[in-house]
Structure 1
């Protein structure tokens, strides 16, 4: 990249002068300081770059050697207007070059001929366009994009430490020694590293790059520098909170909202027993939807539910609260006395509020669900469903003294299976139960507005949540005027696990970077209680009412939900 080009060329792409940091040697320490090469400093600052900071390059596969690296033709200078040519060849052979080496050198005139031929553009067009340090024309960029010999990739050599050095080793008694590299970070980055959070460490590094890497400066570098200076005046907790606000830290709440809202649909389907073929009235089990006979073997079901869940902060994720509501309506066809299949539609709405005032996300969704259920004569019951949800999201993120807002769309697929086996003990029916479920959320990318330099571009994200439960379920039939009142309940040990996330995001107009956020692994006890009553009348219709409560209690997760419904037999 600098100097004589090393093993990959005859001239440095950016400069024919070496780029190296200052060195202060000591007895047992070598202290490297700032870079001084003017071209390096003007474009990349005075420090080493990491993976998130290196620019993209336009590479040309200029030979048929599979293991040979492609030639770098241009680089994406964000602050300088875009694709920019570098030095691609020498204009003349340097004095003193040995003849055998001189024969291997391709000069600029010949290099441009080869490049024009590869791009399939007239040589005169390329000769007029090319200038080391000048912008690449749109015509040449389009020709490269349409050509399979050209590709866009990060310029990895700019982030290599390039620690090529020679040590003269004297006599060592033990025959070995240790060479230790101790990086020296900017203060804001060092503080984040001391807190032990990889997420904060990457946020700090990204913010520092936005403030100090010149080719990233699209006019906001001073604002980022001021933000860093203000953070450094805060105490440790306040500094961490301010830094956290610069990232899309609320991202895990998208999966949590999908999980909580879809559980309303799952509860509606799995809480309802299949219609008993020997009884034209619907039979329900606590906490689920209600049904009514439409005629023949076709029935209807309806349910309304809501929940409030608290996700406590963990070492790798912020805390947030999720409120959700859902409705489900559908039709069901009884295949025989013990089994049925059906289809349902529903709507959901949920809100996730992040801890420490970092912001909130609102979601609305429409769902389509297919399901099958069976209630066998021996007391066994199994219910299964699969659903698809189309969702829209509106987010608010409080960053420093600004408020960023974003809107996007997404989708979710979800499914669940629940099975139980109840034994009749007089008025009681008791037995084991188990369930599993999955919830996969995908959210489209979007760019925020309203926070000026601190607006984020967030790439598409996806994450899955899995839940499993094992417990005991029971029912108690109560005598009443209608003779059809019932209490239901269950207690289960449940485990919930969500994916680790890698959020691709960055300040609007700057490259995005990968920010890891730990998934959740929560264990909790679930308690469900339900009540059902059939009110008989002197007319040809019966009215059935039902209400249910579901609670989850864990160390870092707590949820309270309800399900209500009414059914009418026609």
Structure 2
């Protein structure tokens, strides 16, 4: 819990007085006011005097911007004395190019920060202005603040350039070709901008304008060109110039000329801003409009119910050219029953009541017709029917309508016929016999209320009277009434059983029939039968059998090619058995009789005739026959069959011995269907697979003109299409295969289409379609789709695809990384992967190789060469000093120098005091100059390492400068030790467009010891560090995709070198010859580092370590020349060198990579042997001064070349 402590009032007053006094001291005199009122102080960000660089400038004339934030603090009170006002503006020669807003701002103790917004208008050069702001605290003059403000130079505005499709100078053909005269054809010019600089205004605007026509063969044909297309700045969005043309009877051409204006209007090209673009326009001659007409008539304007009648549809071509693709459609009203549709040259199909008749062509000034046979409904009505016709050339259908009146049938008269017969004649007295009274309706009307009457003669006794459907009564006069109607063609019979009289007689018995209807022919309404009654028994009667035959077709109507079964019923109505019945039949040629069979029947088919024989048929027995037929495909005419039954047994009633059955039929067409399957699913990306499209015909007729089409999706690449009997063609992605022969009912045929899958995973939906020129009864099965899953390529797939392009260590190092990354859709390398895989699929192996090399960061291997050469710089500089120190221990090195005296050569080291005294320097006591020496040596080196892609060696061309300074001390006349520090700077070009710069600081301890006057041994130990700055170009083009990035990285390295050499001096007069040998071991450690600037191509490098061992053997030749001012010693050396070491290698990884796969970079066969030769001069002067100059050059190695210039000096201290 916090508690507040209130200070005494006197303490508060004292604090307020002190605070006011302090503020008064801090403020300018003008701002000090009484009553504790004073303005706030102002702070500026950036501070006054800081250079402000405006940003946002693009092209010349564009605007740059910047900001100064003014923040008030402190102040007390209100009013003018508590207000600080700043007024700002630009001063100087360039003030007009700059602006500040607001120019004036006021700040009170309660004000918040305010921004001063700076702006400038750019010019071709950088503009510098000065912003000056004056403060007025409390109304008085205050401090002046100023800032240098820089407005960057703008780039010259570049308007976009335009490309055209189709290109300028080409001919533009309007579509569609052969359009209808008077219709409109269209064409398009697609204009695509590119290369414009960002910004707005006329300077960065390109227009396509002022389009006009010349040489238009029929004026007024073309249109749509009076449109201005405007492209501003760096837009890349294309625009279209949409052209139109009125189709005329002849072809029309014209020249379209447009003006392309880039930026501000200038003189006409080619070097100005205005360019002329031209195209030739052409629209082909049109097709005259259709002159088709259609006329529909009916066979009778008035037809009876349930009767058959026909429509005739005539199509005429009154034009001057043939019409093709005629189609007539007639949706016959549902109250009618369509029986058939046919006509010469027409191909008609009937589905339900829809009639579709087609004709391939109709020549000019001719006509053609077809008939539709229908059956009227059973009730009267008025029926209107319309037919419509179209053709390929017609833009709309034409129609014709006809009306028919269906009226009721008139009353049809009834014609009853009575047939009376006795069962036996003569008959014995007192015996029973019967009369059969058969009533037949042979009229067209139905008889109702039928009554049969029979008045029996005297002497006959009625026993019974009966008949199916009859009700009988009476004794002397028998009356039988039929319960139901008697239809036309039907019959019914009554059996009257009687007993003959006891005496002989000749009986005459008459029966009659009548009905409610008027009988058209009353003469056949009665019949008389005479019967003889005899006391003598009659001879046995001959057998009689009433054979009857009936038949029906199942189905009652059919299509061509459809099976029809005739069901034949043969029955024996008695009174006796029928011996050896024979059924014979004759079939119309439209029917193909296949088989016939029935129980007890033996059948034989001969062409269109059939005969079936039975052993015998008992009374009231029935024997059926089934006859199998097919309505022949393509049949015309009628399809009926006539059946006749006969027997050697007498038939008392022959009217029922034959029957005829007719089968209405119409063209059945075919039923072609298609099933599409794929050969494999799922499919690897870019793999080849097949579609099999199997076409079947379910009949009933053969299918002609069978065509299989397949519009391949754009993502699939077509390989081939074939099928037995098919001829396949291709137009773009559209495949069409035509079957050369017809496809029989029940047959099938297949087309195989080979395709290549896309390179990325997806689902492909592909549909195959079959069609034919025959009527197709079921178009619903004419399409079949197949869905195929395409799997993304695996890393192994991609590596195998790119393997042929990995032909050297660099591309081989990139291969596993690229393969793994490209197998992942979300990889940072996705864009490059798409281009590389596409090139590999297209067989552009060299482009893939270049891409793999560019992605592989093998430039890092150049660090080996660079570090070794920087170590060599220090080695050579120290070696140069050791050359001076041979044999002596400080100051001058006297070893190897000689003085000529008479005929002998005396080593300079042995001359001793005399020579030193003569030269005027040296230490008489020690025989040497001074034990201490200081030297400074420098060198300039340039070298080349040739690129060898097969060995993974990167090309390096470098230049370096180095300087080494040191001090040494002579321990004795035979030994010396020293230390040196060396600095070198190297810059190199790596590969085609990469760089590697390095700087090193190395420390060396060295020593030399003479075992005797001639034999020496030297040793050097070096340690130091280096910094490496690498800039790697990642540039390659694959197809139309261009990649150009630069990866920047920097790292540090340490180096350790241990070297030793031996030599032996041989003196020949003034000459000194020194054979020598040496070994040098160098070890380098490079820190891992990461790149930036190359987006997805940035890599990180692991730590590197590598070492080399160099062996050298050589000889040095020198000659001492005494001069008045000193001794000049020219010297020449030559050595043979061999370098052995670790294969330069590095492991790297993509910084934004999606996998852990790494680049394994390694140079193969780095060991080398070479020679080196050097020529130099050492100049010894008085007072301990020395100078030397040496140039050394390698030779004998085609892969490596290095030249080094060493120079230096020494003085004693």
Question: Which bracket does the TM-score occupy, shorter chain normalised?
Answer: 0.5 to 0.7
Q: Is the counterpart of residue 497 in structure 1 residue 1111 in structure 2? A: no
Higher relative contact order (CA 8 A, sep 6+): 1
Aligned pair in 2 of structure 1 residues 390, 319: CA closer, same or farther (>3 Å)?
same
- Tell me, what secondary structure is at the counterpart of 1:356? coil
Please give the root-mean-square deviation of Cα atoms over the aligned residues, in Å: 3.6
Aligned pair in 2 of structure 1 residues 295, 482: CA closer, same or farther (>3 Å)?
closer
State the shift of 1:565 in Å.
0.7
Whether the aligned pair in 2 keeps the contact of 1:303 and 1:565 (CA below 8 Å) is yes
State the shift of 1:246 in Å.
0.9
Aligned pair in 2 of structure 1 residues 237, 433: CA closer, same or farther (>3 Å)?
farther
**What is the match of residue 343 of structure 1?**
979
Once residues 233 and 308 of structure 1 are traced to their aligned partners in structure 2, the CA distance between those partners, rounded to angstroms, is 44
1:471 to 1091, 1108, 1114: 1114
Aligned pair in 2 of structure 1 residues 329, 279: CA closer, same or farther (>3 Å)?
closer
Once residues 934 and 1025 of structure 2 are traced to their aligned partners in structure 1, the CA distance between those partners, rounded to angstroms, is 23
Q: 1:270-419 alignment to 2 at 5 Å?
A: 270-271=879-880, 272-273=882-883, 274=885, 277=888, 280-282=891-893, 297-314=931-948, 315-316=950-951, 317-357=953-993, 359-400=994-1035, 401-419=1044-1062
- Tell me, what secondary structure is at the counterpart of 2:1055? strand
**What is the match of residue 191 of structure 1?**
805
- Tell me, what secondary structure is at the counterpart of 1:336? coil
Aligned pair in 2 of structure 1 residues 277, 555: CA closer, same or farther (>3 Å)?
closer
Q: Is the counterpart of residue 518 in structure 1 residue 1163 in structure 2? A: yes
Aligned pair in 2 of structure 1 residues 226, 341: CA closer, same or farther (>3 Å)?
same
Once residues 184 and 406 of structure 1 are traced to their aligned partners in structure 2, the CA distance between those partners, rounded to angstroms, is 30
**What is the match of residue 664 of structure 2?**
none
**What is the match of residue 436 of structure 1?**
1079
**What is the match of residue 47 of structure 1?**
794
Whether the aligned pair in 2 keeps the contact of 1:285 and 1:488 (CA below 8 Å) is no
1:210 to 794, 802, 821: 821
**What is the match of residue 529 of structure 1?**
1175
Once residues 840 and 1186 of structure 2 are traced to their aligned partners in structure 1, the CA distance between those partners, rounded to angstroms, is 60
Aligned pair in 2 of structure 1 residues 376, 528: CA closer, same or farther (>3 Å)?
farther
Once residues 302 and 234 of structure 1 are traced to their aligned partners in structure 2, the CA distance between those partners, rounded to angstroms, is 61
Aligned pair in 2 of structure 1 residues 456, 227: CA closer, same or farther (>3 Å)?
farther
Once residues 199 and 184 of structure 1 are traced to their aligned partners in structure 2, the CA distance between those partners, rounded to angstroms, is 17
Once residues 231 and 367 of structure 1 are traced to their aligned partners in structure 2, the CA distance between those partners, rounded to angstroms, is 49
Once residues 1064 and 1093 of structure 2 are traced to their aligned partners in structure 1, the CA distance between those partners, rounded to angstroms, is 56
State the shift of 1:549 in Å.
0.7
Aligned pair in 2 of structure 1 residues 389, 233: CA closer, same or farther (>3 Å)?
farther
Aligned pair in 2 of structure 1 residues 184, 402: CA closer, same or farther (>3 Å)?
closer
State the shift of 1:367 in Å.
0.9
Whether the aligned pair in 1 keeps the contact of 2:889 and 2:969 (CA below 8 Å) is no
Q: Is the counterpart of residue 546 in structure 1 residue 1188 in structure 2? A: yes
Whether the aligned pair in 2 keeps the contact of 1:420 and 1:473 (CA below 8 Å) is no
Q: 1:94-243 alignment to 2 at 5 Å?
A: 185-192=799-806, 195=807, 197-214=808-825, 217-229=826-838, 239-243=848-852
Whether the aligned pair in 1 keeps the contact of 2:795 and 2:822 (CA below 8 Å) is no
Aligned pair in 2 of structure 1 residues 370, 455: CA closer, same or farther (>3 Å)?
same
Once residues 312 and 393 of structure 1 are traced to their aligned partners in structure 2, the CA distance between those partners, rounded to angstroms, is 21
Once residues 1148 and 863 of structure 2 are traced to their aligned partners in structure 1, the CA distance between those partners, rounded to angstroms, is 15
Once residues 362 and 518 of structure 1 are traced to their aligned partners in structure 2, the CA distance between those partners, rounded to angstroms, is 20
State the shift of 1:45 in Å.
5.2
- Tell me, what secondary structure is at the counterpart of 2:820? helix
State the shift of 1:281 in Å.
3.4
Question: Which consecutive unaligned segments of at least 5 residues does structure 2 have?
Answer: 1-681, 689-756, 764-788, 898-921, 1036-1043
- Tell me, what secondary structure is at the counterpart of 1:318? coil
State the shift of 1:543 in Å.
3.0
Once residues 1085 and 1131 of structure 2 are traced to their aligned partners in structure 1, the CA distance between those partners, rounded to angstroms, is 36
Aligned pair in 2 of structure 1 residues 333, 275: CA closer, same or farther (>3 Å)?
farther
Whether the aligned pair in 1 keeps the contact of 2:817 and 2:1157 (CA below 8 Å) is no
Question: Which consecutive unaligned segments of at least 5 residues does structure 1 have?
Answer: 1-18, 25-32, 50-182, 287-291
State the shift of 1:550 in Å.
0.8
Residue deviations 1:251-302 (CA, integer Å, cap 9, x gap):
221111111111121112223243755885355999xxxxx99996332222
**What is the match of residue 6 of structure 2?**
none
Once residues 232 and 384 of structure 1 are traced to their aligned partners in structure 2, the CA distance between those partners, rounded to angstroms, is 61
- Tell me, what secondary structure is at the counterpart of 2:1063? strand
State the shift of 1:542 in Å.
4.5
- What is the aligned length? 393
- In terms of fraction of residues, the more helix-rich structure is 1
State the shift of 1:47 in Å.
2.6
Residue deviations 1:436-457 (CA, integer Å, cap 9, x gap):
1122221111111111111111
Residue deviations 1:167-207 (CA, integer Å, cap 9, x gap):
xxxxxxxxxxxxxxxx9844333321xx3x24422312311
Aligned pair in 2 of structure 1 residues 501, 566: CA closer, same or farther (>3 Å)?
closer
Residue deviations 1:510-544 (CA, integer Å, cap 9, x gap):
235141322412211110111011244xxxx3432
**What is the match of residue 1129 of structure 2?**
486
Aligned pair in 2 of structure 1 residues 232, 522: CA closer, same or farther (>3 Å)?
farther
Residue deviations 1:300-330 (CA, integer Å, cap 9, x gap):
2221112111111232112212322211111
TM-score, structure 2 length as denominator?
A: 0.30
Whether the aligned pair in 2 keeps the contact of 1:309 and 1:558 (CA below 8 Å) is yes
Whether the aligned pair in 2 keeps the contact of 1:275 and 1:334 (CA below 8 Å) is no
Question: Which structure has the bigger radius of gyration?
Answer: 2
Whether the aligned pair in 2 keeps the contact of 1:366 and 1:391 (CA below 8 Å) is yes
Q: Is the counterpart of residue 252 in structure 1 residue 861 in structure 2? A: yes
- In terms of fraction of residues, the more strand-rich structure is 2
State the shift of 1:234 in Å.
9.5
Aligned pair in 2 of structure 1 residues 424, 453: CA closer, same or farther (>3 Å)?
same
Whether the aligned pair in 1 keeps the contact of 2:1020 and 2:1060 (CA below 8 Å) is yes
Whether the aligned pair in 1 keeps the contact of 2:888 and 2:895 (CA below 8 Å) is no
Once residues 426 and 535 of structure 1 are traced to their aligned partners in structure 2, the CA distance between those partners, rounded to angstroms, is 21
Whether the aligned pair in 2 keeps the contact of 1:276 and 1:337 (CA below 8 Å) is yes
Once residues 1157 and 895 of structure 2 are traced to their aligned partners in structure 1, the CA distance between those partners, rounded to angstroms, is 51
Once residues 1079 and 1069 of structure 2 are traced to their aligned partners in structure 1, the CA distance between those partners, rounded to angstroms, is 30
Once residues 890 and 1084 of structure 2 are traced to their aligned partners in structure 1, the CA distance between those partners, rounded to angstroms, is 40
Range moving further from structure 2, 301-310 or 233-242: 233-242
**What is the match of residue 269 of structure 1?**
878
